[in-house]
Amino acid sequence: MNFMKNKPKNNIVSYFVILILLVFSFNIIGCSKDNETNNNVSKEKVTTNEQKSNNDNKEKINREENSSKDKETSKNILKNTDVKFDKKELEKENSINFNTPWESSPNGKLFACIEGKGESAQEEGIGKVCVKDLQNNIFSFEIVSSKKQLSPKDLEWLDDENVLVVIGHAYGTISKGGNIYVLNTNTGECNLLYDTKDNKREIISCKVESRNSKTANIKINMNIYEDDNFTKDSVKTLFVKNMDLNFNSNIDILDKDGNIFDTIK
């Protein structure tokens, strides 16, 4: 009889035990899901960070490659040289009377000549480049640092500031020309533009046939010796088309048929 009386109480206790177990089970499942969710979020964050890092690395590599390409594209083909000019201002009354004709710059504000080698700059001896302005201020440019006895032999205005100067041996009848240099009449800086790299080949003259603000077309006369005794020679006419006045690209020197004779690079 006591057992029957206690049965409802036991049922109630059992019910609460089961309820507590169910609640506890749900909490465990919930925590497990939360942990799984947190793990997934963490994995997603790691994946996202890895992707971002990879993208950043790719962008860095691309920037470096583009920078390298830009540097390659913007190379300057002018070469350093041991030929250095000393720029000096001359007295206005200083006479210049053994010179080539004065050549006008494209804008007509400056004039240049070679002094000391006669009207055609063919006389033996060391000459100098002279530049004057409209106020008759005259500056001389003398070669001072070369180990060889060199002299300017021909010049031509490239633009309003720079002059193409053919520089070669000052003495001897065999040497009729030289290599082409660029002389900045403002700074006195000189750079090598074209070295024939062959003592049988010398530039006699160069003439700018046409120009604009960015490019120039140039005609070059080159003396070429055909024998080892330097007794037989001929003059070859060459051309440069659309030369970059900033010297940032290779220059093809063409023969009269348009074939590449040489390349400045």
pLDDT in tens, 225-239: 999 999 999 999 999
Residues 232 and 179 placed together within one structural domain of the fold:
yes
pLDDT tens-digit readout, 10-58: 556 565 556 666 655 545 445 455 555 555 545 555 455 556 566 666 6
Is 159 part of a structural domain of the chain? yes
Residues 67 and 99 placed together within one structural domain of the fold:
no
Residues 49 and 107 placed together within one structural domain of the fold:
no
In this prediction, residues 102-120 reach a mean pLDDT of: 96
Residues 236 and 143 placed together within one structural domain of the fold:
yes
Residues 116 and 1 placed together within one structural domain of the fold:
no
Q: Which residue has the higher pLDDT, 219 or 95?
A: 219
Residues 69 and 93 placed together within one structural domain of the fold:
no
Residues 172 and 54 placed together within one structural domain of the fold:
no
- Asked whether residue 159 carries a pLDDT value surpassing 60, the answer given is yes
Mean pLDDT for all residues in the chain? 83
Is 249 part of a structural domain of the chain? yes
pLDDT tens-digit readout, 52-62: 566 666 665 55
In this prediction, residues 102-111 reach a mean pLDDT of: 98
- pLDDT of 70: 45
Residues 158 and 214 placed together within one structural domain of the fold:
yes
Residues 47 and 133 placed together within one structural domain of the fold:
no
pLDDT tens-digit readout, 238-262: 999 999 999 999 999 999 999 999 9
Is 80 part of a structural domain of the chain? no
- Asked whether residue 197 carries a pLDDT value surpassing 60, the answer given is yes
Residues 133 and 255 placed together within one structural domain of the fold:
yes
* Percent above pLDDT 70 for the chain: 71
Residues 131 and 104 placed together within one structural domain of the fold:
yes
- Asked whether residue 206 carries a pLDDT value surpassing 70, the answer given is yes
**Three-state SS annotation for the chain:** CHHHHHHHHHHHHHHHHHHHHHHHHHHHHHHHHHHHHHHHHHHHHHHHHHHHHHHHHHHHHHHHHHHHHHHHHCCCCCECCCCCEEEEEECCCCCCCCECCCEECCCCCEEEEEECCCCCCCCCCCCEEEEEECCCCEEEEEECCCCCCEEEEEEEECCCCEEEEEEEECCCCCCCCEEEEEEECCCCCEEEEECCCCCCEEEEEEEEEEECCCEEEEEEEEEEECCCCCCCEEEEEEEEEEEECCCCCCEEEECCCCCEEEEEC
Is 21 part of a structural domain of the chain? yes
Is 218 part of a structural domain of the chain? yes
The tally of domains found in the chain comes to: 2
- Residue 4: band (very low, low, confident or very high) from pLDDT cuts 50, 70, 90: very low
Residues 211 and 112 placed together within one structural domain of the fold:
yes
Is 240 part of a structural domain of the chain? yes
Judged by average pLDDT, the poorest of 84-88, 163-167, 171-175 is 171-175
Find the CATH number of the domain harbouring 260.
2.40.128.660
- pLDDT of 157: 98
Is 202 part of a structural domain of the chain? yes
Which residue range is the domain that position 30 belongs to?
Answer: 1-74
- pLDDT of 22: 61
- pLDDT of 203: 97
Is pTM beyond 0.75 here?
no
- Residue 173: band (very low, low, confident or very high) from pLDDT cuts 50, 70, 90: confident
- Residue 166: band (very low, low, confident or very high) from pLDDT cuts 50, 70, 90: very high
